[in-house]
Amino acid sequence: MWSSVLVLALVTVLDPPRLLAVFLVTSRPRPGKNLLFYYLGCLVLNFWFLLVPLAVLHFVPTLGTLLQRYAAPPAADSGSTLQPIPLALGVLSLLIAARLAMRLRVRRKTSDASPLDADSATNGESPTEATKPNPISTAISRLSTVEEGSQGLAAAIRRLVGRVYGAWKEGSVWISLFMGLTYSPLQATAALAVIATSGAPILAQLSAAVSFVAIMLAVVELILLGYLISHSKTEAVLRSAHGWTEVHNLEVFATISAVGGVFLVATGLGVF
């Protein structure tokens, strides 16, 4: 049990969606406080997902027998089974990565063809990018704009989007807490199955679940530890990292999409 849980946890440390969430959370005002609330949200969700079922199966053993009785029989062959949802998400992520790579190639060709762009590249960005507004911010601003006097469901949704986006820009910690409460990796389900069917004592099962969550969130914990040891140095490192990613945003998001797509496709094909 312990070796399987450890492998699953180590595989999940560099989970692309969580790394993206950490990047977004630490790019907001009060990054340390927001990251702490994101971490608390992750703990609540994953402890609820892992510890509660294990406790229920321990104190209500008839439930485990009932689930085994009505569970689908195992496949006759030992080959891997397809998981359509991770496979579809992985293909979509790879398509996004390919699209970003094409945009990056066009941008580099344009930059090489223009001497003015080459001169401005020494400052970290091209002049067209420096004056071009953020497309995500522009789209959200349009989506949250409500005409005066408008009523109905669409207007209510626009107002809600506007309030959430305003809270995001102001650095509200509740947005980070909600982000932590809304995502649990696929490996958590596999870890739950491994632990629940191990036959180990309940304390060992709970310890394995807690260890899985602690290792899974190692990146977040290391950053929080850095804030605890040296607040100013950690923020300086994060600002430097965010400055670099703002200049190389297409490369970063293309890499994240590609890595996440390969991982999801492998999961969908039953490799992991």
Q: How confident is the model at residue 99 (pLDDT cuts 50, 70, 90)?
A: confident
Residue 210, pLDDT score: 93
- Residue 167 is predicted with a pLDDT of 64
What is the token pair recorded at 167? 């809270």
Measured CA distances, 104 to 2, 83, 254 (Å): 43, 32, 9
Q: Taking residues 208-221, report their average pLDDT.
A: 92
Give the pLDDT score at 129: 46
Rounded to whole angstroms, how far apart are CA atoms 211 and 9?
8
What tens digit of pLDDT does each residue of 232-272 get?
888 787 777 767 766 666 777 777 778 777 877 877 787 75
Confidence at residue 170, expressed as pLDDT on a 0 to 100 scale: 66
The per-residue pLDDT for range 49-98, each reduced to its tens digit, is: 999 888 888 787 666 555 555 444 444 444 456 777 777 877 888 888 88
Query: Which is more confidently placed, 123 or 200?
Result: 200
Q: Is the pLDDT of residue 112 over 90?
A: no
Torsion of CA 11, 233, 250, 179, to 10 degrees: 60
> What is the crossing angle of helices 231-247 and 31-59, to 10°?
100
Amino acid at 272: F
Global confidence as pTM: 0.67
- Residue 128: the pLDDT is 47
> From the CB of residue 11, how many other CB atoms can be counted at a distance below 10 Å?
16
CA–CA gap between residue 46 and residue 180 (Å, rounded): 9
Enter the DSSP assignment of 72.
P
